[in-house]
Amino acid sequence: MDRVADEALIVLEKVNKWFGPLHVLQDVNLSVARGEVVVVIGPSGSGKSTLCRAINRLEPIDSGTITFDGQPLPAEGRALARLRSEVGMVFQSFNLFAHKTILQNVMLGPVKVRKEKPAAVRDRAMGLLERVGIASQADKYPAQLSGGQQQRVAIARALAMQPKALLFDEPTSALDPEMVGEVLDVMTSLAAEGMTMVVVTHEMGFARHAANRVVFMADGQLVEEAAPAEFFANPKTERARDFLSKILTH
Amino acid sequence: MTEFLRVLTDNWSLFADGFSNTVQLFLYSAVGSLVLGTLLGAFRVSPIPALRWFGATYVNIVRNTPLTLVFAFLVFAVPKLDVNIDYFPSACIALTVYTAAFVCEVVRSGVNTVAPGQAEAARAIGMTFDQVLGQVILPQAVRAMVPPLMSVMIAMLKNTTIAAGFSVLEAGAIPAYMSERGEPQFIVLIWITIGFLILITPLVLLQRSLERKWAVSR
Ligand SMILES: Nc1ncnc2c1ncn2[C@@H]1O[C@H](COP(=O)(O)OP(=O)(O)OP(=O)(O)O)[C@@H](O)[C@H]1O
Ligand SMILES: [Mg+2]
């Protein structure tokens, strides 16, 4: 873990969030260092997605503070948009813009949000598509690609903004099993290059090999956190043991 | 065959006037109903409950009222309120008010066809509200709206004939005039049908070409 700098990039302090009567995030404290890869696991409904979405304020919180790169998250408007442009997000259902080609999907953010010159962005976008192995499909539309390919494009789209951190919410859960590997490969190489990542996933292999830290959530609380080897070998809480026994036997 | 053509050539000015009025009625009402309907559609999907309620109420009332009644209201009832408008503008207003309810529903369902994840992804890369709407939501919603909008417009073109019953000389009023002149009704009706087919053709062609243009991306 020597590449993990001490400096925290994402800090959540006493974060609370309710959906009506449902207390989905309960006094959550979490600090993610620059270059660190944190995997979030936990049973369905435990608040993993909500946690992930709170970090770029797609989901506003009710109390507590979240700081990104030293700044508290802006409440709204242009400042919030700027923050979001620095935090990439990859969704379970890809969410590529259906009316744009693959290349346009990757270029849209830099051109419209950052107002960069299209010619320069195009080169960078093609480089990113090359990197995720989809350059030959640049002029197709999302619906013409497989799920695995679409998710790799979604990663390229997030990278095109040159983000300081990437959030992944179950990026492989909607994929056919044979396509999971190609997406995890891209994520693993990003992790190896020192990208700061928060990854909600059920892929225990990825958690073991690519994560610096595993965070276990249940009922809106961060129940346990540890280095992957330690977490999988001896989970401290009953809930984590129970959860692991269920998913590892599958 | 010569008789068939003669009916048209002998009464050319009547046919020309009738259809020219039909086209004008159609164009004014198309523009009016698209503008009003889009506004009402925006109400229907807005986050403000009062606007949503207004949009829904308008649609429910107007859609469930026969068009003839809407015409009758504008042509007979409104003048009783000392508001004097001519038959032609009245007919335009009646068609606009009526068709706007259908346009509104097309707009609403068009916006709803855009998956919520699209707006979310757009926000996540840092787009402002305007950009999310202009770059991502509307371009996709419009694609979903074009085919049903064309159907609404074609239905409206046919609905223009109801104006004949309210003293507007449009294509639907031609048979009455022609029977006074003793022309054979059957041939007259065939010519009117042909006239409407000619008017509808550009709409159908426009619809086809837009659908083909956007087919790949959906
Ligand atoms: N917009 C919403 N409105 C109301 N309740 C919500 C909303 N979004 C999520 N919830 C509820 O909040 C709780 C936490 O949801 P969340 O999606 O964060 O869980 P999760 O850990 O990601 O679950 P999963 O593994 O199924 O994705 C769930 O009980 C969910 O039903
Ligand atoms: Mg989730």
Which residue's CA is the nearest one to ligand 1's atom 31? A45
Cβ atoms of A75 and A99 within 8 Å: the answer is no
Mean pLDDT in chain B?
A: 89
Lowest mean pLDDT among A63-72, A196-205, B183-192: B183-192
Among residues B159, B180, B183, which one has the least CA distance to residue B171? B159
Binning chain B into helix, strand and coil, the percentages to the nearest 5 are 85, 0, 15
Contacts of A76 (CB under 8 A, 6+ apart): none
pLDDT at B78 over 80: no
Is the confidence at residue B81, as pLDDT, over 80?
A: no
Rounded Cα distance, A132 and B112, in Å: 32
Using the predicted structure, report yes or no on whether residue B88 has a pLDDT greater than 60.
Answer: yes
Residue whose Cα lies nearest atom 10 of ligand 1: it is A19
pLDDT band per the 50, 70, 90 thresholds, residue A1: very low
Average pLDDT in the A134-155 region? 95
Evaluate if residue A4 carries a pLDDT over 50: no
pLDDT of residue A2: 43
Question: Is the model's pLDDT at B83 over the cut of 80?
Answer: no
CA geometry: angle A217, A153, A79, nearest 5 deg: 65
Tell which residue, A112, A91, A98, has the closest CA to residue A158: A91
* Residue A102 near residue A142 (C-beta atoms within 8 A): yes
> What was the pLDDT predicted at B194?
92
Task: Please give the Cα distance from B64 to B40 (Å, whole number).
Answer: 16
pLDDT at A3: 44
Classify residue A22 by burial, with Cβ atoms within 10 Å: 0-12, 13-18, 19+.
exposed
Tokens at residue B162, please? Answer: 């109801």
Question: Tens digit of pLDDT for each residue in A101-118?
Answer: 999 999 999 999 999 999
**Given the structure tokens 């998710």, which residue do they identify?**
A151
Closest C-alpha residue for ligand 1 atom 2: A19
Cβ-Cβ contacts under 8 Å, A173 against chain B: none
Instruction: Scan for tokens 């053509």, then name that residue.
Output: B5
Q: Please determine, looking at this structure, whether the domain spanning B2-217 carries the CATH number 3.90.1490.10.
A: no
pLDDT of residue B80: 77
pLDDT category of residue A6 using cuts at 50, 70 and 90: low
Q: Which residues of A137-163 are buried (b: 16+ CB within 10 A; e: fewer)?
A: bbebbbeebebbbbbbbbbbbbbbbeb
What are the extents of the domains in chain B? Answer: 2-217
Pairing of strands A63-68, A71-72: antiparallel
Instruction: Indicate whether residue A50 lines ligand 1 (CB < 6 A).
Output: yes
Q: Indicate the helix (H) or strand (E) that contains B136.
A: none
**For A72-90, what is the mean pLDDT?**
91
Using DSSP bridges, classify how beta strands A37-41 and A196-200 pair: parallel, antiparallel or unpaired.
parallel
pLDDT at B48: 84
At A241, phi and psi to the nearest 5? -60, -45
Supply the pLDDT for residue B213: 79
Q: A90 to chain B nearest CA, in Å? A: 8
Q: Which residue has the tokens 């892929």?
A: A203
CA distances from A35 to A66, A89, A98, A160, B30 (A): 18, 16, 32, 18, 58
- Residue B1: Cβ-neighbour burial (10 angstroms; 0-12, 13-18, 19+): exposed
pTM recorded for the entire structure:
0.80
State the Cα–Cα distance between residues A182 and A208, nearest whole angstrom. 17
Instruction: State yes or no: pLDDT of A62 exceeds 50.
Output: yes
pLDDT band at B208 (very low <50, low <70, confident <90, very high): confident
- Least confident window among A141-150, A154-163, B83-92, B146-155: B83-92
Which residue in the set B125, B143, B218 is minimally distant from A84, CB to CB? B125
Mean pLDDT of the region B96-111: 94
Closest-CA residue to B88 (of B152, B18, B158, B141)? B18
Residue B217: pLDDT above 80?
Answer: no
Sign of the C-alpha dihedral, residues A65, A70, A73, A76? positive
Per-residue pLDDT at A236:
93
Asked if residues B58 and B101 have their Cβ atoms less than 8 Å apart, the reply is: yes
Q: State chain A's mean pLDDT as an integer.
A: 93
Chain A neighbors of B214, CB-CB under 8 A: 99
Q: Is the pLDDT of residue B201 over 60?
A: yes
Contact A216, A234 (CB under 8 A): no
Q: Which amino acid is at B150?
A: M
Q: Which of A78, A87, A99, A161 is the best substitution to test chain B (most B C-beta atoms within 10 A)?
A: A99
Residue numbers in B near A100 (CB within 8 A): 217
Predicted confidence (pLDDT) per residue in A162-197, tens digit: 999 999 999 999 999 999 999 999 999 999 999 999
Q: What is the pLDDT of residue A246?
A: 86
